[in-house]
Amino acid sequence: DTGVSQNPRHKITKRGQNVTFRCDPISEHNRLYWYRQTLGQGPEFLTYFQNEAQLEKSRLLSDRFSAERPKGSFSTLEIQRTEQGDSAMYLCASSYSDRGRSGYTFGSGTRLTVV
């Protein structure tokens, strides 16, 4: 297992376009999280899954954002009608369902730039 994998690493899109990011977690981990990080800030929670169930969504996640985790494996995060304010690093993390006692493993992130 090579850890948490995110694709693409970078995405530049025009305002108004839709984008989709993919996250492949560590296979033994049943929890998967999406975070967003802007320059100089800590990661902000967006949403998380336990297996295939989406258990919580942040108020930061507007109706333009949707996330899925079919079959409890990989996850996708889609942003519709992108805005310049969506420009950020989107981080995926996975963990065991032990309240994170083992720590969270983050992927390298997808850097989104909306022009």
Partner 1 sequence: GQQVMQIPQYQHVQEGEDFTTYCNSSTTLSNIQWYKQRPGGHPVFLIQLVKSGEVKKQKRLTFQFGEAKKNSSLHITATQTTDVGTYFCAETDSWGKLQFGAGTQVVVTP
Sites of contact with partner 1 (CB under 8 A): 31, 33, 35, 40-45, 48, 55-56, 91, 93, 95, 97-101, 103-109
Task: Count CA atoms closer than 13 A to 5's CA, side-chain side.
Answer: 8
> Could you tell me the smallest distance in angstroms from the CB atom of residue 8 to partner 1?
15
What is residue 68's three-state secondary structure?
A: strand
Residue with tokens 């990011």, as numbered in its chain: 21
Cβ neighbours of residue 36 closer than 8 Å, sequence gap 6 or more: 43, 44, 46, 60, 88, 89, 90, 91
Residue with tokens 């993919």, as numbered in its chain: 22
> Could you tell me the smallest distance in angstroms from the CB atom of residue 82 to partner 1?
22
> Could you tell me the smallest distance in angstroms from the CB atom of residue 115 to partner 1?
21
Give 79 or 91: the residue with its C-beta nearer to partner 1: 91
Give 18 or 38: the residue with its C-beta nearer to partner 1: 38
Give 22 or 80: the residue with its C-beta nearer to partner 1: 22
Q: List 111's β-bridge partners, or say none.
A: 10, 89
Give 46 or 79: the residue with its C-beta nearer to partner 1: 46
What tokens were used for 58?
């942040």
